[in-house]
Amino acid sequence: MINIDCNEDCRYLEGVAYQKGREEEKEFSKLMESVPHGQYDDIFHDMEVAMMAGEIETYIRDIYIKGDIQITDKLVYESYKKVYRKHFKNELIEGDKLDKLTKRLLQLFDSNIEMWEFNMERSKIGQVFLRLMITIKNMSGGRLGEFGYLNHLKNNLFDTDLEDQFIVEDKFGNKTIHSIEKD
């Protein structure tokens, strides 16, 4: 029988888990750096890529607006990462460890993969998920907190009656309507 001193052993295990998370994030950062996302070489210039990304982002936007799953930019980022790990790194992810958003994204992936593969190479499909993760990293934080990306989806992919106006939701869930000033 092993005697575990939780004050010492648990701290060690927490440190190991933290280090593993950092290494994984570094690995994904390198993968994201390899995806063309500059002004002139962005993969979103490719129509098939843009359509696939738009389909995924519209799906996320609909979930966010419905509110049946409480999501943040970070949760969406982690879900994109899990989809990438499962389908492009062939990692086994146990179903009971998946959140509702990731399960729904995996269902979307499974139902659309044949069409996406018809339009582009499988490696490019993986790059779309990495590129979407780059978008979240660039849009999340600041005054809008963890809803910057989701607010972007809500305001730019949603048919509203808000002519020359847009909705902003801050990190506390407060929604305000702002007008677009024209010169």
Query: What pairs with residue 183 in β-bridges?
Result: none
* Rounded-to-integer distance, Cα 130 and Cα 66, Å: 25
Residue 104 makes CB contacts below 8 A (sequence gap 6+) with 59, 63, 69
* Rounded-to-integer distance, Cα 79 and Cα 139, Å: 16
Return the amino acid letter for 167: I
In sequence order, which ranges of the chain are alpha helices (DSSP H)?
11-33, 47-66, 73-88, 100-119, 122-139, 148-156
Per-residue tens of pLDDT for the chain, all 183 residues: 666 656 556 677 777 777 887 888 888 888 888 887 877 888 888 889 888 999 999 999 999 988 889 999 999 999 999 999 999 998 888 877 799 999 999 999 999 999 999 999 999 999 999 999 999 998 888 776 788 899 888 887 655 555 666 666 666 666 666 666 655
Instruction: Report the length, in residues, of the chain.
Output: 183
Tokens 């779309």 label which residue? 128
Instruction: Convert 132-153 to b/e letters by CB count within 10 Å (16 or more is b).
Output: bbbbbeebbbeebbbbbbbbbb
* pTM of the predicted model as reported, rounded to 2 decimal places: 0.76
Which tokens in the block code for residue 4? 């575990």
Q: Where are the domains of the chain?
A: 35-133
